[in-house]
């Protein structure tokens, strides 16, 4: 499956996907990486991996529609079949989301539907939750919403700061995103009635729900 990865920054999840795709048996390949921010660190990771990459700077567009139009054109031009948003911090229009319905994944650093949006770790600590985590989901028009493919639970420690918690969760993100992509690319995780249903799983397939994956 041909994958386009959307980023806005550092790109550590992009790197996890690049590493997974490097395995000849992995059922997906990254054909393009697009950043809405010039200078995003992830662009250098794409460059180092020899993956075509480009910046589509949202600031150069008049409105969200025209930015999303350019994004859509670039993705289609690259032959993308599935989008993986990986730290892509830009709200997409309903029209774009509908065009890519069930063909766009996102990762979010909380156990959705809790703590959508920004400042997730600060708000999780403030709320006093004992367990946080991360979620890979299909994208819907509402931000950080949509059928859940994979989640990993991560403990919150009493002395955590937003950055120590973020770092612990990031380790789990790097595990579940490739796992979720694999299941989707193989057609083993499909959206049925706004939930993800698994089928055809093999002995070795880890179905990542509510546990910290190994």
Which residues are at the interface with ligand GAR (CB under 6 A)? 9-13, 42, 86-87, 107-109, 144, 170, 173
Shortest Å, Cβ 201 to ligand GAR: 25
Residue placing its CB nearer to ligand GAR in the complex, 54 or 193: 54
Backbone angles phi, psi at 181, to 5 degrees: -60, -40
- Number of other CB atoms surrounding residue 155 within 10 Å: 13
Shortest Å, Cβ 119 to ligand GAR: 9
Residue placing its CB nearer to ligand GAR in the complex, 9 or 146: 9
Shortest Å, Cβ 200 to ligand GAR: 28
Residue placing its CB nearer to ligand GAR in the complex, 42 or 208: 42
Q: Which residues contact 27 (CB under 8 A, 6 or more apart)?
A: 1, 182, 185, 186
Q: Long-range contact list for 41-44, CB < 8 A, 24+ apart? A: 41/9, 41/10, 41/11, 42/5, 42/7, 42/9, 42/10, 42/11, 42/14, 42/15, 42/86, 42/87, 43/7, 43/11, 44/11
Residue placing its CB nearer to ligand GAR in the complex, 118 or 197: 118
- Lookup: tokens for 126: 């403030």
Shortest Å, Cβ 45 to ligand GAR: 9
* Sign of CA pseudo-dihedral 152, 83, 201, 178: negative
Residue nearest to ligand GAR (CB): 87
Shortest Å, Cβ 126 to ligand GAR: 17
Q: Which residues contact 41 (CB under 8 A, 6 or more apart)?
A: 9, 10, 11
Rg value, the chain, Cα:
17
* Residue 108 appears among annotated catalytic residues: yes
Q: Which of 108, 121, 137, 174 is catalytic?
A: 108
Residue placing its CB nearer to ligand GAR in the complex, 41 or 190: 41
Q: Among all residues, which ones are annotated catalytic? A: 108
């Amino acid at each position: 499956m041909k994958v386009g990865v959307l980023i806005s920054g550092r790109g550590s999840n992009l790197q996890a996907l690049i590493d997974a795709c490097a395995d000849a048996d992995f059922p997906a390949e990254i054909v393009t990486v697009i950043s809405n921010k010039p200078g995003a660190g992830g662009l250098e990771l794409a460059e180092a991996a020899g993956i075509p990459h480009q910046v589509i700077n949202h600031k150069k567009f008049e409105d969200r529609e025209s930015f999303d139009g350019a994004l859509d054109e670039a993705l289609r031009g690259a032959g993308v079949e599935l989008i993986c948003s990986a730290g892509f911090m830009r709200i997409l229009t309903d029209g774009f989301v509908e065009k890519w319905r069930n063909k766009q994944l996102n990762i979010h650093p909380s156990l959705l539907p809790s703590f959508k949006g920004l400042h997730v770790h600060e708000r999780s600590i403030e709320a006093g939750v004992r367990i946080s985590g991360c979620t890979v989901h299909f994208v819907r028009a509402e931000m950080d919403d949509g059928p859940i493919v994979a989640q990993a639970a991560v403990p919150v420690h009493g002395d955590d700061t937003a950055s120590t918690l973020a770092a612990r969760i990031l380790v789990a993100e790097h595990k579940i995103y490739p796992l979720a992509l694999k299941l989707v690319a193989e057609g083993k995780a499909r959206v049925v009635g706004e939930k993800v249903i698994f089928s055809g799983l093999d002995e070795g397939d880890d179905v990542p729900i509510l546990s910290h994956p190994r």
